[in-house]
Amino acid sequence: MGLIASSGMLIPKKGLSARARDPYARIPLDNPESPPTTPWEVEMPRLQVATPVTLNPAPQRVANTAAGEAPRADHQRWDELAARFGAPVTYQNIAAQTSGHILHPDLPAQTLFSYNVLVPGPLFHAQYNQRVVVRFRNNLPLVGFNGFGRGEITTHLHNGHTPSESDGFPTDFYAAPKYKDQHYPNIRAGYDDFFETAGDHRETLNTLWYHDHRVDFTAQNTYKGLAGMYILFDELDNNNENAAPPAFGLPSGEFDVPTVFQDRVFDEDNGRLFFDKFNTDGILGDKFLANGKIQPFFRVRPRKYRFRWLNAGPSRFYQFFIRDKTTNEDLRFTVIANDGNLLPTPVRDQTSVRIAVAERIDVVVDFTGREGHNIVLQNRLEQEDGRGPTGDILPPNEAMENIKFMVDLPFNGDNSRIPDNFRELPPLEQVAVERNFRFDRSGNWTIGKTPRALAYDGKNIWVANQNGASVTKLRASDGAALGAYAVGRSPIALTFDGINIWAANFASDNVTKLRASDGARIGTYALGDGPGAMVFDGSNVWVANQNSNNVTKLRASDGAALGTYAVGKVPAGLAFDGANIWVANSQSDNVTKLRASDGAALGTYNVGDNPLAIVTGGGFVWVVNQFSHNVTKLNASTGAPLGTYAVGDAPAHAILAGDSVWVANFGSRNVTRLRASDGVQLRSYKTTFQ
């Protein structure tokens, strides 16, 4: 959703734009109401098929950082796949902010994020066993983008069987003017086990899509335009309805229609695209787009069509019916695929199909004999907020309408067919281990008990279980579990005061004090909004209250509150230098220095983008800047900057050990070691293996 506290917790606020609504609009009361638009005023465009280009410089196995490529791991099996399948087909897809987009004649032209000036982006037609490299170049601004979205990208081919370095991991983002070459081998899963056939044919995927995946901003950037479709053809589903069996002969060419569905809301005063960043339930729109146009019409011939329907979100589900208003009946159609895979057998004679967010459904619809009829694609699934549909199906006269089909083009033949069988799916493996996951919500989504923070008491390791409202004590020598102890909701930070363990309970707005020897609860103490990071100064426990933008000082002996002190926006990290408390203010891009004895503010010092963690030692302060992928070194006595040093992607934590600063890079999944004296990078260590 984009608004996120640096501890990883979505800040639990509701939408701010409360306005009276039409009770039949079926979108939340706290959304604005879009200006009126007339349906069926504009024709639905077909997605524009991407054209291959020659890339200069040519793509290569190793990231070409000297030419402006963003850092990445080497392309896996690059030489091996080149030897077997030849050179890749190459494309360029440029993310940029572009103006003049007409979504409906009744609304002003919109300034959006686009790929190659297209919203939705280009449609890729690819073939199995034909490699593709797409150069995703970022030309987006980092400022001046009309209120929402972020000008950093990382592009994910959704559902693709893709190497990790080209998968668009959320924290592998990069800013303009960098690019990244993403390698799509277009081979099936099971490549090594089914080497002769280049993968397991039962794992064939056909209807995919790509979208921006930038951590914390996926919804905003996709909503603003960064999405498109990617179609894979093979020897059976081959884009040729005239091909003889065993080819499937499904509708092809003009009659194969990828369609991107999105709902949007527009400011009622100026007609501009609107996104409520504070609505963590998920925004719903009252305007329904197909291929970038609001309630368009689409001209068809009286014959079979294959529609590849994508729900590009961000929050609405669809239950689609095709209503013939001339005969007052729902057309029957055939469902042939979901989420990329063709089904083993077609599901015929359906009158509706449900599509969740990011899901794809392929259907075949026959318009034979419907010339001149009034045919409308309707969504009849009731949904009152972004958390999901109610499950109720609306009557046709209350449905939300998406596309009008005009059967007014002349018949020119139809050799397509729907075979009785497609491909088998691989069998499900027998269950070897059963695990239970609890999905819950406390201002954000949580899964399982979610170990979140650690503390060491000299003998034992203490683990904060964010979704378990508990802490676990493990014997450090052998990891044996010695006990689990209830605390408040969403404990996300721990500290040890020499005798007791303190847990900051983010969702309960308090801290819990446990005796380390036996886990007995000593007390619970109320704090500000969203307590997170903690540090012990030898006598007192300091707690950063993320949502109230302050820190609280508690006397460790009895938990008495000794003071609350204003700092910057969303304080995320704390450290003690022997005399002062240092606070990393993640949304202010600075750090605050407080005198530990009385909380007096001694200075505020600018650092990098989204300072998330802080560590002190040797007269210096090291600040981890997550979004600028570096650390800043400050003089602890004066706050003067001594240097900024590049590390890996999305650094999240640091410790000082001996003569080195160690930085954990969440995005690049490695650890960087810097020499503390001068910041020289000594080495980078992988923490995961492919």
Which sequence spans correspond to the domains of the chain? 65-407, 438-563, 567-690
* 385/257: higher pLDDT: 257
Q: Tell me if 404 sits within 8 A of 298, measured CB to CB.
A: yes
Q: What pLDDT is attached to residue 435?
A: 66
Q: Which CATH class is domain 438-563?
A: mainly beta
Read off the pTM: 0.70
Would the CATH topology of 65-407 be identical to that of 567-690? no
pLDDT band at residue 571 using 50, 70 and 90 as cut-offs: very high
Map residue 599 onto helix, strand or coil.
Answer: coil
Q: In 331-436, where do the E strands start and end?
A: 333-338, 341-350, 353-355, 360-366, 374-379, 400-407
**pLDDT over 50 at 324, yes or no:** yes
- The mean-pLDDT minimum among 38-47, 345-354, 677-686 falls in 677-686
Structural tokens at position 399? 């449905």
**pLDDT over 50 at 166, yes or no:** yes
Q: Tell me if 618 sits within 8 A of 12, measured CB to CB.
A: no
Mean pLDDT of 603-607: 95
As to burial, measured by CB atoms within 10 angstroms (0-12 exposed, 13-18 middle, 19+ buried), residue 184 is buried
Cis, peptide link before residue 419, omega less than 30° from 0: no
Q: What pLDDT is attached to residue 340?
A: 87
pLDDT band at residue 444 using 50, 70 and 90 as cut-offs: low
Query: What are the beta bridge partners of residue 525?
Result: 511
What is the overall mean pLDDT for the chain? Answer: 90
CATH for the stretch 567-690: 2.130.10.10
pLDDT band at residue 651 using 50, 70 and 90 as cut-offs: confident
Q: What pLDDT is attached to residue 276?
A: 87
Query: 65-407: CATH homologous superfamily?
Result: Cupredoxins -  blue copper proteins (2.60.40.420)
Chain segment 3-26, per-residue pLDDT in tens: 322 223 222 333 333 233 333 345
- Please state, for a pLDDT cut of 70, what percent of the chain lies above it: 92
Mean pLDDT of 321-332: 98
pLDDT band at residue 439 using 50, 70 and 90 as cut-offs: low
Mean pLDDT of 85-113: 97
**pLDDT over 50 at 108, yes or no:** yes
Chain segment 54-65, per-residue pLDDT in tens: 999 999 999 999
Q: What pLDDT is attached to residue 513?
A: 96
Chain segment 116-163, per-residue pLDDT in tens: 999 999 999 999 999 999 999 999 998 777 779 999 999 999 999 999
